[in-house]
DNA sequence: CCGTAATTTCAGAATTTTCTGAAAATTACA
DNA sequence: TGTAATTTTCAGAAAATTCTGAAATTACGG
């Protein structure tokens, strides 16, 4: 690998963190490289920059496309494929959130739904099912909210983030407005402890 | 492994998902078992329930304590150690968010800070550093917000979640109130695209 | 369509991670 | 303090993942 030092630091870091983020070292490095690059790169260039095999790049790209974190491009007069990482950093966050939900949360939600349909066969299973229902309801609440927030445009999203702990204050205001206007609830859960 | 079917399904699922969540199969299974259990369990019981070695349980517990997802307990008249998973599901979410930030985000933030101190040695590094600054600022905004929200009590947190996309409406209201009252900003970033 | 450049696939090698059993260390309490 | 129960450690076995090179496939330009 022969890269400018700042870029190399970043790329190596992404390689090491890749594991914790659910991708392998190569995939992390490829994404880092594309993210920093000011132009699309082809597989050969990535191979050279990272010192990995051509086939490894091919598999890594397939994985990154699965994550919707890279796009294919074609440069005129060049029959090779080029890759680039989308620029809008807010969109990247949305994509990551969505893909991680799909991989890390949805399967569990689905399993929980199945298991909650079953009849518990005794007090032990009854208690277990209670806990599973708590988990299920909370996950639904969280993912539903995340889905809603994801749809906000960049400016609104930034507004929300800047607010920070201020949401608390805002919620109090909302409470008062709701009493007057009679706003409707998103679901029927109660307001304390149990959801 | 000899467990009631509902429990077994849940435990096996957590084992399989463990990998994607940043822990190994055993750790996922142990946590699942403790989460569903209506009483603390000792290492021997976990060994039997999951069909894994005693030493593996020991290592798994250490990992789960590192995540702050289990607590040690002592039952009177029994010198063995017992383990239990905290009950408050909201607190579990906070703990998970915190620990994942510590493992998955903080190291990157730290690396970015270091790299942003360096002088870029040419246009390529300058562009790369720009992207890194974008990433750094966005991560700070996100983690700062998450940190604030984490401090909310259960009821407020639930209020926020139920709001869903309604935050958008609420933000508009806030905008108007701010014009009147002159609220202060959390940071100096601009409101569009670039953060 | 032909030839060739480019990409993908995949079997097995290399590496990393997980798990176990045996031994060492720690702990409770008699 | 001695002893037996319990927990932890850790070297290496087992399993899983990642990576490569060679072969197969695809896609382009003539």
Cβ contact, residue pair A163, B154, below 8 Å: no
Which residues in chain B touch residue A5, judged by CB atoms under 8 angstroms apart?
118, 121
Which residues in chain B touch residue A171, judged by CB atoms under 8 angstroms apart?
156, 159-160, 163
In a domain, A140, yes or no: yes
List, run by run, the mean pLDDT of 10-residue segments along chain B (195 residues).
93 96 97 97 97 97 97 93 97 97 97 98 96 98 94 89 77 63 44 44
List strands edge to edge, sheet with A41-42: A41-42, A82-84, A71-73
Q: Note whether B123 and B59 are within 8 A (CB).
A: no
The distance (Å) linking the CA of A79 with the C1' of D28 is: 7
The distance (Å) linking the CA of A151 with the C1' of C28 is: 59
Domain final position from A84, A103, A125:
A84
Answer yes or no: do A113 and A145 share one domain.
yes
In a domain, B179, yes or no: no
Within A 77-106, residues with CB less than 7 Å from strand C: 79-81
**B56: CB within 7 A of chain C nucleic strand:** yes
Answer yes or no: do B74 and B109 share one domain.
no
Answer yes or no: do B49 and B75 share one domain.
yes
In a domain, A169, yes or no: no
In a domain, B173, yes or no: no
Per this entry, what is the length of chain A?
A: 195
d(CA A5, CA B129): 11
B5-15, pLDDT tens digit by residue?
A: 999 999 999 99
Query: What is the tally of structural domains in chain B?
Result: 2
In a domain, A106, yes or no: yes
Q: Which of B193, B176, B165, B21 is nearest to B99 (CA)?
A: B21
Interface probe with A: pick from B4, B5, B6, most Cβ of A within 10 Å:
B6
Domain final position from A84, A110, A134:
A84
Answer yes or no: do A10 and A74 share one domain.
yes
Helices (H), chain B: 5-21, 25-36, 43-50, 54-66, 89-100, 106-117, 123-150, 154-163, 166-181
Question: How much is the pLDDT for B194?
Answer: 47
Answer yes or no: do A75 and A9 share one domain.
yes
In a domain, B120, yes or no: yes
Q: How many CB atoms lie within 10 A of CB B126?
A: 13
Answer yes or no: do A22 and A41 share one domain.
yes
Q: Note whether A70 and A91 are within 8 A (CB).
A: no
Cβ contact, residue pair A9, B115, below 8 Å: yes
Answer yes or no: do A125 and A151 share one domain.
yes
Report angle CA B71, B74, B77 to the nearest 5 degrees.
165
The interaxial angle of helices B123-150 and A166-181, nearest 10 deg, is: 60
Answer yes or no: do A55 and A78 share one domain.
yes
Cβ contact, residue pair B167, A161, below 8 Å: no
Q: Which of A79, A139, A68, A130 is nearest to A106 (CA)?
A: A139
Q: Which of A32, A153, A84 is nearest to B193 (CA)?
A: A153
Answer yes or no: do B59 and B28 share one domain.
yes
Cβ contact, residue pair B154, A9, below 8 Å: no
CATH number, domain containing residue B26: 1.10.10.10
In a domain, A61, yes or no: yes
Q: Which residues pair with A71 in a beta bridge?
A: A84
Answer yes or no: do B76 and B95 share one domain.
no
Cross-chain CB nearest to B103 (options A20, A138, A164): A20
Cβ contact, residue pair A131, B36, below 8 Å: yes
Cβ contact, residue pair A173, B168, below 8 Å: no
In a domain, B23, yes or no: yes
Domain membership of residue B9 as a residue range? 5-84
Domain final position from A68, A84, A100:
A84
Answer yes or no: do B71 and B9 share one domain.
yes
* Residue given tokens 């920070």 in the structure block: A164
The distance (Å) linking the CA of B45 with the C1' of C25 is: 22
Within A 8-67, residues with CB less than 7 Å from strand C: 19, 42-44, 54-55, 58-59, 61-62
Cross-chain CB nearest to B191 (options A13, A93, A155): A155
DSSP assignment of A9-67: HHHHHHHHHHHHHTS-HHHHHHHHHHHH-SS-EEHHHHHHHHT--HHHHHHHHHHHHHT
pLDDT tens, position by position, for chain A (195 residues)? 789 999 999 999 999 999 999 999 999 999 999 999 999 999 999 999 999 999 999 999 999 999 999 999 999 889 999 999 999 999 999 999 999 999 999 999 999 999 999 999 999 999 999 999 999 999 999 999 999 999 999 988 888 888 877 777 777 766 666 555 444 444 444 444 444
Answer yes or no: do B50 and B34 share one domain.
yes
């Amino acid at each position: 690998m022969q890269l400018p030092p700042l870029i190399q630091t970043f790329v190596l870091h992404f390689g090491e963190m890749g594991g914790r983020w659910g991708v392998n070292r190569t995939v992390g490095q490829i994404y880092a490289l594309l993210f920093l690059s000011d132009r699309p790169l082809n597989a050969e260039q990535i191979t050279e920059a990272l010192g990995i095999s051509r086939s490894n790049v091919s598999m890594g790209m397939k994985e990154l496309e699965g994550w919707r974190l890279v796009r294919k491009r074609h440069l005129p007069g060049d029959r090779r494929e080029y890759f680039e990482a989308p620029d809008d950093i807010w969109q990247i966050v949305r994509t990551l959130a969505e893909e991680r939900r799909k991989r890390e949360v949805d399967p569990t939600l689905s399993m929980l739904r199945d298991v909650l349909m079953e009849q518990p066969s005794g007090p032990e299973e009854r208690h277990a099912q209670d806990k599973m229902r708590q988990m299920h309801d909370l996950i639904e609440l969280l993912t539903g909210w995340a889905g809603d927030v994801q749809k906000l445009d960049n400016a609104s999203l930034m507004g929300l983030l800047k607010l920070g702990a201020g949401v608390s204050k805002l919620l109090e205001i909302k409470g008062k407005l709701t009493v007057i206007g009679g706003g409707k609830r998103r679901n029927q859960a109660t307001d304390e402890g149990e959801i």
